[in-house]
Every structure is written in C-alpha cells, then in structure tokens.
Chains A and B, each alone.
Chain A
Amino acid sequence: MPELGRAALIVCLGLAVYAVAAGVLAAKTQRRRLGESAENAILASFIAALAASGVLLAALLRNDFGFVYVWQHTSRELPRPYQFSAFWGGQEGSLLLWLLVLTGFASVAVLLARRSARSLLVWTVPVLGGVILFFSFLLVAVSSPFATQSPPADGLGLNPSLQNPYMLAHPPFLYLGFVGLTIPFAFAMGALLARRADELWLVVTRRWTLVAWTFLGFGQLLGAHWAYVEVGWGGYFAWDPVENAALMPWLAATAFLHSVMIQEKRGMLKIWNVVLVAGAFALALLGTFLTRSGILSSIHSFTESSIGAWFLGFIGVVVVGSTVLIVSRLPLLRAKTRLESPVSREATFLYNNLLLVAFCLTILWGVAYPILTEAVRGEPVTVGPPYYNFFLKTFGLPLLLLMGIGPLIAWRRASLRGLGRTFAWPLGVAIATGLALLALGAGSSIPGLVGYTFSAFVLASIALEFVRGTRARRALAGGSWPGAFAQLVGRNRRRYGGYVVHAAIVLLAIGVVGSSAYDTVRERRLTRGETMTVGDYDLTYRGATRERGANAVEVRALVDVARGGAHLGTMRPGKNQYLAEQQISNEAAIRSDRLNGEDLFLIAEQIRPDGVFLKVLVKPLVNVIWLAGFVFLGGSSIALWPDAREQRRLALRYGRGEALASA
C-alpha cells in the first residue's frame, strides 16, 4: 500500500500548487468559477491527505514492518492504543498529522466562508494553498512516511515511558492548536492581499483563534500533568525548549485575542493585529520545528535532520512575506483614532499585550541564544530556569493584576472617582487576604505573597462583575436571581466566558505560586523503621518489594505516612526496570489531599531492604492547577457558544442574507 500513500501525497501537492496558482489568478481577474475551482482544490487536498493518513494508520495497526516508519515506532507486543498514537510518534508521521489537520481545517474554513465572505475567501485560498504546499512538499520530497524496506521480524517499539494515555492526547491537542493558528493568519493575509481594511477577517476567524488557543492551552496543561505524574521529578514545567515551543505561540495568541477586542470596539491597532497574528503563526511553525527537527539536542543534530533547513526557510518566507505585505498596506491600516487616556480599558489591554509579547520575546531569546552563541562563538551557552522564572515573575505578576483591573475600567476614559468606587471592594478583599496570609506565614516568599494578593484582587473583581451584572439584569428584566444570571451570561457570552477564563488563569497562578514559592523539599537516607518529618508529614520506611510485572521488574519502597499521629496510608515510590529496552523509569508516589489541594510527592532511590534514599516534596495547592484546566475549558466553551443575535447583526453589516456561520 505504500504506493497509494505516496501517490495521495503527490496528489495533495499538485492540488496545493493548483490552489495557489488558480487562486491568485481567480482573485486578480475576478473569475468566480476559477475561484470556486481553487476552493475545491483545498477541499480535495483534505481527501488526499485523508487517504495518505489512512494508508499509514492501516499499516500501523496491522504491524506492517515493510514500512520503515511502522518498524521504527511500533512492535508486535505494543498495545493497540499506542500503535495508533505511533502515527504522531515520529517526524514523518507528525508532519502528516499537520497536513491532515491543516487540510481539514482549511476545508471547513472554505466551506463556512464560501457563502458569507467570498471576496475575502478569494485571496485567502492561495495563502492556505501555500501552507499546504509546504507540508505536502516536505512529505513528498524530504521526509516521507512511506519509505519501504524488506520487513524485519519485529519493530523497534515505543519507549516505555511514552506508553501512557498522555501520549494519546497531548500531541494531538497541541497540533490542533498549532495548525488552528494557520486559519486566522491566512484570512488576515487574504484581507491584506485584497486591500481590505475592514474587520471581516476578524469576524470570520474569531472562533478559530479561540478554539486553537484553547487546544494549545489545554494541551500544555496535559503535558505539564504528564511531566508531573509520569516523569516524576516533582515539577511540571522545566522551561525546556520543547515546552517553550508551545508556550510562545500561546502567549502571542493570548495577546491577539485581547487586541482584536480593541480593534472591534475602537477601530485601533489594525497594524498591531496583523503583525501579531502573523507572529503567532510563525511561532507555531517555529514550535513545530523545535519539537520535531532535533535542533535542540545540539547543533550537530540539526544538520542530521532533513527538515530543519526547510522549516527555517519557510518560516523566513512567512515572516518576510507578511512583513512586506503589511508594510505595503500601511496607509490602508493606519488608525484614525488615538488612545484617549492611559487609564482606560483600551490602555489596560495595550499594557496586557505589551507584557505578553515581552514575555514571549524573552522566552524566544532564551531558546535562540544558545543556538546563536554556538553558531557565532562555537561555544554554546545554557539558559536555565532562573532566567525564565525571573521574567515569569516580572511580567506575570503585573499581568495578573491587569486581569483584575481591566474589567473594572470603562472604555475611552475612566474618571478617578468612578475608579475609586469600583475598586474599593476588590482592593479591600485583596488587602485583607494579604494581611491574613502574612499572618499565616506567607511572608517567606515576597513574590508568592504578591501573587496571592493579586489573585485575591482578580477573583474579587470577577465575582463583583457577575454580581453587579446579575443585579442590573434583574433590575431591568425582573425574574429570579438564577434566571437573571443565566440571561446575563447568555446575552454576553464573550464577556462572561472571558471572565471565567480569567478565573481559570488566576487558579493556575495560585497553584503555581503555592507549589513553587511555598513548597518544602527534603532528601535523606532512611534505614528500615526510621522516620523523617517533612512539613506536617511523618514518613517511616518499612521495607522494599520486588515484583515481576508484565514487561518490567517493579521495585518499590514501602513508606508509611502519618500526620498528627493519624496513619494516612502507605505510599510506594520506586523504579521500574524494563527488561527488553534495558531502561529504568522512575515511578514517583503522589498523595493528593482532597481538602487543601496539597500533594505529598515521594521519589525513591537506591531502594534496598535495609534502607532507601528518599526525596520528599510537599507541594501546596498544586492540584488547583489541574482544576484550572477544567475551568479554562468551561469558560472557553461559554465564549465560543454561538450567538444568534450577534450573527444576524454581522450578517446585515456585511450584506449577506444568511448568518455568518463562524462569526
């Protein structure tokens, strides 16, 4: 079957070339049938990508080791789900996944925009085609998943530490996010190519951006949880370049989500928005490149990997191309309105954007600097967590504060008197919380205390927004409190969905602050029967067990946990020795306290019947981070919910009878 796969990819490449050529011609000459034909090419490219994916998936599921890719990433005894996830386990497969999702999203975008935004679509199609062209080209000519060999008896299998459910969810979520950012980019470039300065591209892509951003955010949380429970070093984010690769486009997309609101309300920042969306897309490409090209292990593997140079080239084309396009359309995009006051909602959104972009750039610098210095000086330099954590505090804490200030300020200009009234209550809550925490000992970390105080401020301001809004709704329309609340949220989905998302970010901040600023770490050797005390917990080593599991020898240290004299249970940290792969994996033991969100985290080394070396971490509030993920999804869903009234309004504006399907 590999021939079919290869053929499908070539067909996809051909369709992409046609979409670009025919699309440009159709747009320039205003020929509608040619334009529709180009659109159909995009739709057909999805079918081709689907065919190629089907071939690869079938080969994976039936262990066809004649496919080099299948041999490299599966084995006979690999459980079924991981045969499936091997699709994106390697470079070629993940490129194919990119292509599949890209053509899928592009097709949906074309279908939705066909009826309601034709004149914009006409120029968007070539841009979509261009991106599809790049990925199909890579798959056809540089990194094909359909290389064949005479089949060996068994495959190389999957690293046992990757055989867990996270492998099934984390990469696809991230890819949905990365690829999703292509759509707003394509429409933005399409609008510029069409010499448009209106907001249609924003209206059409608003939900795309939100969906992609949500996937990217939740995908990162999945990755953090994976690192926490599976890799088990006691943390969830190490500022690894691969982790940063997903964080950067997410930050840019967050900035973009906010700055489009300014364009919507005040008609300002048009140039900033197109720059930002192009930047987010370029960062998504960069993120894919960083994760898949191997450049990060060392600069030597860069030359080994085939796709590195191509990716950098394409990113260069995207950056240069969009810059040229934006510069050429500058007169069109120049704003006629100015910022009226540094104390206004626009201003807080602007500060939010500056902070987010600044943080994103510091991460970019941290990732690029080692590579640059190695290329220039021949001697690489490492940039570690202290650098990133410093900037996280410098930019993150003000951002946290802004989340509370923004909703409370009016557009255009806020009078100080008005501010005093609206801020009084949240400020009071924040100060009270701060003092209470200080009394409880939170002064041990000043950034931590500041983080908690700001969090209290934001949560209070969000709660106040809901209360005030419900009260006003009830005064206007009567009815019960729950009814008024539902109506309030129902009529202002974006605003209140956004508030819920803000609450999720605050929960995330609280969890991060608690588990990093106020954690306790102790490590020592324990003999059998000996007890060590960490925080509130008393840990006693009882002995070791050694069991033969399915594919590994599992060595565990039995540790009794007590608190205040009460026995809480027995934890079993240890190691797994995988026989076939000759590898050892760390199996940390985690005990989560339901009531206070705290985790007791145990890592056991040198496990022997008479003694063990134990590393103990007490991480307060860490489970609030995972809770935040669900609140995040909830808020995003509210904001995404279609609003019929708004759609009608927009349809009238852009002169179409039917509602704008994706507005």
Chain B
Amino acid sequence: MTELILAALLAAAVVVFVAVPFLRAHEPPRAEEPAEEMLAAAEERDRALAELRELEFDHRTGKITDDDYRALVQPLRRRAAHTLANGGSLPGRAAEEPPQQQFSAHSPPSGRPDR
C-alpha cells in the first residue's frame, strides 16, 4: 500500500514539475540573442585578439625570434583591427586588459622583452 502511495506521489510530483512553466499566463518575451553572423564576427574578433596575445607571449618567452615577430605582428594587427571594426567594440574589455594589449594598426611594436 505504501508503495502505491509513494509511486502516485512521485508521478504527481513530476507532472506538476513539468507543468509549472505553463502556469505562467503567457509566453515570456523572446530573449535577445545575437544573430549568427554577429556571433561569427565576434568569434573571429576574439580569435584575432587571442592570436595577437599569444604571439606576444610566445615572443616574450623566446619561442619566436625578433625577426619572426616583426614579420608576423603587422598582418595580425591589421586583421585584428579589421575584426574589431566588424565585430563591434568591446565595452567591458578596455578596463581589464593591461595597457600594452591595446593597440591600433599604426602603433609601434610593444612589449619588447629585455634581452
């Protein structure tokens, strides 16, 4: 007998749980989600920035020679600037990144390590 009661309680509980969203009177507003193209652009932008950051890191840790760095950094910077233009600005980022991570296509090379 207890078994049946418990089973019934379980069934009832899950039915209620599943029905809860419908207790809301009407559909909630459709959440604002970025469009697919914007997402792709944002990912491109983040990728370009991450590559630049890694290039700096690799250079600083000596994996990339000065010549290689000079050769690689300009195209990457240009690409990053391009994606920034496409992917939109980064409102929250400016504050959290240390100064040498910010750049534009025209700034001089930054962060030369002491050798």
Classify A-B as touching or not with yes or no (CB < 8 A). Answer: yes
Return the contact of B10 from the options A8, A36, A411 (Cβ within 8 A): A8
Once A3-B4, A654-B34, A655-B33 are accepted as A-B contacts, the answer to whether A197 and B63 lie under 8 Å apart by CB is: no
Q: Is the CB of A648 within 8 A of B92?
A: yes
Given the complex, which residues of B lie within 8 Å of A418, measured CB to CB? 63-65, 68
Chain B, residue nearest A37 (CB): B21
* Distance A372 CA – B90 CA, assembled complex (angstroms): 57
Nearest-Cβ distance from residue A264 to partner chain B, whole angstroms = 8
- 8 Å CB contacts to B: which residues of A383-428? 408-413, 415, 417-418, 421-422
Q: Is the CB of B27 within 8 A of A33?
A: yes
Once A30-B30, A31-B27, A475-B60 are accepted as A-B contacts, the answer to whether A48 and B46 lie under 8 Å apart by CB is: no
Q: Is the CB of B11 within 8 A of A648?
A: no
- Chain A interface mostly: helix
Q: Is the CB of B43 within 8 A of A48?
A: no
Q: Is the CB of B36 within 8 A of A48?
A: no
Given the complex, which residues of B lie within 8 Å of A266, measured CB to CB? 47
Binary per-residue interface labels of chain B (57-98) against chain A in the complex, 1 for a CB within 8 Å, 0 otherwise: 110111111011000100000000000000000111100100
- 8 Å CB contacts to B: which residues of A19-77? 30-34, 36-37, 40-41, 43-44, 47-48, 51
* Distance A34 CA – B21 CA, assembled complex (angstroms): 7
Q: Is A7 an interface residue (CB 8 A)?
A: yes
Given the complex, which residues of A lie within 8 Å of B24, measured CB to CB? 33
Q: Is A642 an interface residue (CB 8 A)?
A: no
Given the complex, which residues of B lie within 8 Å of A410, measured CB to CB? 55, 58, 63-64, 68
Nearest-Cβ distance from residue A198 to partner chain B, whole angstroms = 4
Q: Is the CB of B42 within 8 A of A653?
A: yes
Once A37-B21, A44-B14, A265-B51 are accepted as A-B contacts, the answer to whether A119 and B68 lie under 8 Å apart by CB is: no
Q: Is B39 an interface residue (CB 8 A)?
A: yes
Once A33-B21, A265-B47, A655-B32 are accepted as A-B contacts, the answer to whether A472 and B60 lie under 8 Å apart by CB is: yes
Binary per-residue interface labels of chain A (643-663) against chain B in the complex, 1 for a CB within 8 Å, 0 otherwise: 001001100111100000000
Binary per-residue interface labels of chain A (5-20) against chain B in the complex, 1 for a CB within 8 Å, 0 otherwise: 0011001000100100
* Distance A408 CA – B63 CA, assembled complex (angstroms): 7
Once A37-B21, A40-B20, A198-B39 are accepted as A-B contacts, the answer to whether A3 and B65 lie under 8 Å apart by CB is: no
Given the complex, which residues of B lie within 8 Å of A468, measured CB to CB? 61-63
Q: Is the CB of B90 within 8 A of A654?
A: no
Nearest-Cβ distance from residue B1 to partner chain A, whole angstroms = 10
Nearest-Cβ distance from residue A204 to partner chain B, whole angstroms = 14
Once A15-B18, A32-B30, A472-B57 are accepted as A-B contacts, the answer to whether A7 and B11 lie under 8 Å apart by CB is: yes
* Distance A429 CA – B68 CA, assembled complex (angstroms): 26
Q: Is the CB of B14 within 8 A of A15?
A: yes
* Distance A265 CA – B32 CA, assembled complex (angstroms): 27
Q: Is A199 an interface residue (CB 8 A)?
A: yes
- Chain B interface mostly: helix
Q: Is the CB of B3 within 8 A of A267?
A: no
Chain A, residue nearest B6 (CB): A4
Chain B, residue nearest A1 (CB): B3
Once A37-B21, A197-B36, A653-B42 are accepted as A-B contacts, the answer to whether A475 and B65 lie under 8 Å apart by CB is: no
Given the complex, which residues of A lie within 8 Å of B90, measured CB to CB? 652
* Distance A189 CA – B52 CA, assembled complex (angstroms): 32
Beyond known contacts A33-B24, A40-B17: 15 more, CB 8 A cutoff: A1-B3, A4-B3, A11-B10, A33-B21, A43-B17, A44-B13, A47-B10, A48-B14, A265-B47, A411-B51, A415-B65, A417-B68, A418-B65, A468-B61, A653-B43
Interface residues of A (CB under 8 A from B): 1, 3-4, 7-8, 11, 15, 18, 30-34, 36-37, 40-41, 43-44, 47-48, 51, 118-119, 196-200, 264-267, 408-413, 415, 417-418, 421-422, 465, 468-469, 471-472, 475-476, 645, 648-649, 652-655
28 A–B contacts from the bound complex (CB under 8 Å): A3-B7, A4-B3, A4-B7, A8-B7, A11-B7, A18-B18, A30-B30, A31-B27, A32-B31, A37-B22, A41-B14, A48-B10, A119-B31, A197-B36, A198-B39, A264-B47, A411-B55, A412-B72, A415-B67, A418-B63, A418-B68, A468-B61, A469-B61, A471-B61, A472-B62, A476-B60, A649-B93, A655-B33
6 closest cross-chain pairs (CB), A and B: A7-B7, A36-B21, A468-B61, A472-B60, A44-B14, A33-B21
